[in-house]
């Protein structure tokens, strides 16, 4: 985390302002779930329980399948620094831990964790040994805590974003979460480079024309193409308590953007090549563009796609791009720091 300290040394902070974290211990916090003792580790740039009136925006980033919340936190810090948003934005990256199978996360006492393989934590499934806690409960808890405004009384906007497996999480969470309308603070969602999406009916993009949709033609050989988390059938855990009609309403009424890498077109980085995923398109970029068209054509929802030039399947490239900054930080952010640096050359 020397990167964190080096980054913050470059940033002038007023004497009266809260000081952002600059060490590993300083940048982490435990969040209790379901009233405890279950808990989850989060990285955050400012304490979540200390008054800080300078904060007007919160950005929650969900990591990918490698569960490297520390690396994603570094990426988020770099992104906010380049956008000139470190002083008014609290950055939060939760760790969705797993200590099963090939996943070897070292767990602290009472740390909640999820199965290593499959789509469990990406789709709201119950935790290992704790069926009362689902993966979406973690973001619910963070949103509720932020919305209370105990620490951040001037908070005006929350953004929930995720890349790769985190993008899958945010796609499904944006559709299924039950707290969005209760918070009193606007929340928007950014879905970046996931391998798959949750479709709301049996239609899929045509294999010959990504702009056209129809009933999936190979359902007999690909029987799980419409099973959760690829479709709405056989949902479990958090999403089982939400009706199909409510999911469809949520998808059309909640503000979602799709942030896709221009060259994320190779089967790398945990690419989902399963039958139900391939039914959504041949590449991550194609799947994202098709899903946005599906939402627009079938449901009339206006959800923008932003293509990040020269980025593949790389969270640092995606979230530090100038074109991504307005989605993440609002306004005209994104070019301030780069222009300043260029003027100093």
Residues 6+ apart with CB under 8 A from 3: 74, 77
Split at pLDDT 50, 70, 90, the class of 240 is: very high
> Torsions phi, psi of 337, nearest 5?
-65, -40
pLDDT of residue 23: 85
pLDDT for 102: 80
In this prediction, residue 344 carries a pLDDT of 33
Q: In what helix (H) or strand (E) does residue 71 lie, and over which residues does it extend?
A: helix 69-82
Q: What is the pLDDT of residues 1-15, one digit of tens each?
A: 444 545 544 444 444
Above pLDDT 90, what percent of the chain? Answer: 77
Place of tokens 């399948």: 65
How does residue 31 score in pLDDT terms, banded at 50, 70 and 90? very high
Give DSSP secondary structure letters for 173-231: HHHH-S-GGGSSS-EEEEEES-S----SSSEEE-SS-TT-EEE-TTTTT-TTTTBTTTS
Tell me the pLDDT tens digit for each residue of 264-274: 999 988 999 99
3-state helix, strand, coil in the chain (%, to 5): 30, 20, 50
Is the pLDDT at 174 greater than 90, yes or no?
yes
Please report the pLDDT score of residue 297 as a whole number.
94
| pLDDT at residue 287 tops 60 | yes
Q: With beta carbons less than 8 A apart as the criterion, state whether 31 and 138 touch.
A: yes
d(CA 327, CA 131): 35
Tell me the whole-structure pTM to 2 decimals.
Answer: 0.91
Residues 276, 268: Cα–Cα separation, whole Å? 18
C-beta separation of 254 from 174 below 8 A: yes
Average pLDDT over residues 309-332: 95
At 194 the pLDDT is 98
Distance from C-alpha of 64 to C-alpha of 165, rounded to nearest angstrom: 4
Query: Domains in the chain and their CATH numbers?
Result: 2-343 (3.40.50.1820)
Residue, of 100 and 31, whose pLDDT is higher: 31
- Residue 91 backbone dihedrals phi, psi, to 5 degrees: -105, 130
């Amino acid at each position: 985390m020397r990167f964190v300290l080096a980054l913050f040394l470059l940033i002038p902070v007023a004497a009266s302002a809260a000081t952002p974290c600059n060490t590993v211990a300083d940048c982490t916090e435990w969040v209790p779930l379901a009233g405890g003792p279950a808990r989850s580790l989060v990285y955050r740039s400012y304490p979540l329980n200390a008054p800080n009136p300078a904060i007007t925006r919160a950005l929650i980033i969900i990591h990918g399948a490698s569960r490297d919340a520390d690396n994603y936190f570094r990426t988020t810090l770099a992104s906010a620094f380049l956008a000139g948003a470190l002083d008014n934005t609290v950055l939060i990256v939760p760790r969705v831990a797993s200590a099963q199978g090939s996943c070897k996360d070292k767990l602290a006492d009472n740390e909640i964790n999820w199965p290593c393989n499959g789509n469990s934590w990406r789709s709201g499934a119950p935790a290992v040994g704790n069926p009362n806690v689902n993966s979406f409960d973690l973001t619910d808890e963070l949103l509720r805590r932020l919305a209370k405004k105990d620490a951040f009384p001037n908070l005006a906007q929350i953004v929930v974003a995720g890349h790769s497996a985190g993008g899958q999480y945010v796609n499904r969470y944006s559709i299924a979460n039950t707290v969005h309308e209760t918070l009193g603070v606007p929340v928007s969602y950014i879905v970046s480079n996931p391998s798959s999406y949750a479709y709301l009916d049996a239609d899929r993009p045509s294999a010959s024309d990504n702009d056209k949709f129809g009933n999936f033609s190979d359902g007999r050989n690909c029987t799980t193409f419409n099973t959760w988390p690829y479709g709405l059938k056989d949902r479990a855990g958090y999403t089982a308590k939400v009706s199909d009609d409510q999911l469809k309403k949520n998808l059309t009424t909640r503000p979602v953007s799709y942030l896709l890498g221009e060259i994320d077109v190779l089967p790398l980085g945990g690419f989902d090549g399963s039958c139900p995923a391939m039914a959504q398109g041949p590449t991550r970029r194609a799947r994202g563009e098709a899903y946005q068209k599906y939402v627009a054509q079938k449901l009339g929802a206006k959800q923008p796609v932003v293509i990040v030039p020269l980025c593949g399947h790389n969270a640092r490239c995606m979230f530090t791009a100038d074109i991504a900054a307005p989605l993440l930080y609002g306004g005209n952010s994104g070019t301030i720091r780069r222009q300043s640096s260029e003027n100093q050359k």
